[in-house]
């Protein structure tokens, strides 16, 4: 049913734009790094930790900035499945159970590599069943997305909100200030922001702060406590919690790890 062209963990070290390419496969990516951007068929998508990104064959793709992700590239030879499910999935960012999805992708990669090393019909069936489960979960998630027309209608408002967050993330701001900048109500801002960007305003704000914290940890000698305040976090403990949750290591570990790479 499926032909896998790539599965595993991908690291890009391009600081600027990666050259544009045309995808020949269905592609699923689960991001593990803070804010970066992808351009697909001329449309800009803001990516962040936990985003699950889906694209189809024929998409013209380009990514801006360094990033890491779990990714899966595949082709589907079941026309009925393609027509009923894959063709109905739009290019978009999903925010579903990230931990569960990461575990499923890891399991899939393990099963696929086992199939490559020790081919068997049983392993192939297990691999196809695992991928089918992943795709159906994305399909179910897509049914709850707001229509593309409504998202487009408020894209400018949300772009203003994103810029406001990027300009003021060092300050103590919340949904009321973000909604005021977007000229929308707080409750509607929360809903439409998540549909347009793939994350909540709070998550976007946290990502902006963590992205700045990463830079400060590498390029300054400021203490973690000082960086916490400079980034807009209320205290060092919250920075440690948010940083570890998104980056997978403490600020101190991140500083030691990446400074060694630059030396």
pLDDT, one tens digit per residue, over 27-82 is 998 888 877 788 888 888 888 777 788 899 999 998 887 788 888 999 998 888 88
159 lies in the same domain as 117: no
**CA nearest 108: which of 65, 72, 67, 152?**
72
Q: Which of 142, 177, 197 is the last residue of a domain?
A: 142
Element (H, E) at 237: helix 236-247
124 lies in the same domain as 162: no
113 lies in the same domain as 179: no
Q: What is the pTM of this model?
A: 0.55
Q: What is the dihedral of CA 58, 64, 69, 70, to 10 degrees?
A: 10
Environment class of 56 (CB within 10 Å of its CB; exposed 0-12, middle 13-18, buried 19+) = middle
The whole-number pLDDT of residue 104 equals: 78
**Cβ-contact 218, 186 below 8 angstroms:** no
Rounded to an integer, what distance in angstroms lies between the CA atom of residue 238 and that of residue 8? 31
131 lies in the same domain as 34: yes
The whole-number pLDDT of residue 262 equals: 47
Rounded to an integer, what distance in angstroms lies between the CA atom of residue 93 and that of residue 70? 14
The whole-number pLDDT of residue 220 equals: 86
Domain that holds residue 138: 2-142
Rounded to an integer, what distance in angstroms lies between the CA atom of residue 162 and that of residue 182? 9
Instruction: Determine how β-strand 21-22 pairs with β-strand 60-64.
Output: antiparallel
Structure tokens at 88: 């109905």
CATH number of the domain bearing residue 87: 2.60.120.280
131 lies in the same domain as 156: no
The whole-number pLDDT of residue 263 equals: 47
**CA nearest 144: which of 87, 186, 194?**
194
The whole-number pLDDT of residue 260 equals: 54
The whole-number pLDDT of residue 83 equals: 86
Q: Which of 142, 167, 189 is the last residue of a domain?
A: 142
pLDDT beneath 70, residues of the chain? 13-17, 95-100, 141-152, 259-263
The whole-number pLDDT of residue 133 equals: 83
**CA nearest 29: which of 101, 130, 116, 84?**
101
**Cβ-contact 16, 64 below 8 angstroms:** yes
Q: Can you tell me whether residue 234 is helix, strand or coil? A: coil
158 lies in the same domain as 237: yes
Which residue matches tokens 């297990």?
126
Q: How many domains does the chain have?
A: 2
The whole-number pLDDT of residue 171 equals: 92
CATH number of the domain bearing residue 221: 1.10.10.60
**CA nearest 65: which of 23, 34, 25?**
34
The whole-number pLDDT of residue 193 equals: 86
């Amino acid at each position: 049913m499926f032909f896998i062209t790539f599965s595993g963990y991908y690291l890009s070290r391009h600081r600027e734009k990666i050259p544009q390419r045309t995808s020949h496969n269905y592609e699923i990516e689960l991001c593990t790094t803070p804010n970066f951007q992808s351009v697909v068929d001329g449309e800009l998508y803001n990516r962040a930790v936990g985003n699950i990104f889906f694209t189809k064959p024929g998409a013209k793709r380009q990514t801006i900035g360094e990033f890491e992700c779990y990714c899966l590239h595949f082709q589907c030879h079941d026309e009925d499945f393609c027509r009923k499910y894959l063709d109905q999935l739009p290019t978009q960012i999903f925010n579903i159970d990230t931990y569960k999805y990461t575990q499923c992708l890891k399991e899939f990669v393990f099963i696929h590599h086992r199939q490559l090393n020790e081919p068997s019909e049983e392993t192939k069936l297990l691999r196809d069943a695992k991928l089918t489960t992943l795709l159906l979960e994305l399909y179910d998630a897509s049914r709850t997305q707001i229509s593309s027309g409504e998202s487009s209608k408020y894209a400018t408002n949300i772009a203003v909100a994103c810029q406001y967050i990027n300009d003021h993330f060092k300050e103590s701001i919340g949904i009321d200030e973000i909604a005021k900048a977007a000229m929308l109500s707080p409750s509607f801002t929360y809903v439409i922001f998540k549909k347009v960007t793939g994350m909540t305003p709070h998550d976007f704000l946290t990502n902006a702060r963590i992205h700045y914290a990463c830079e400060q940890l590498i390029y300054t000698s400021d203490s973690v406590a000082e960086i916490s305040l400079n980034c807009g976090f209320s205290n060092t403990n919250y920075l440690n919690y948010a940083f570890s949750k998104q980056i997978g290591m403490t600020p101190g570990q991140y500083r030691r790890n990446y400074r060694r790479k630059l030396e």
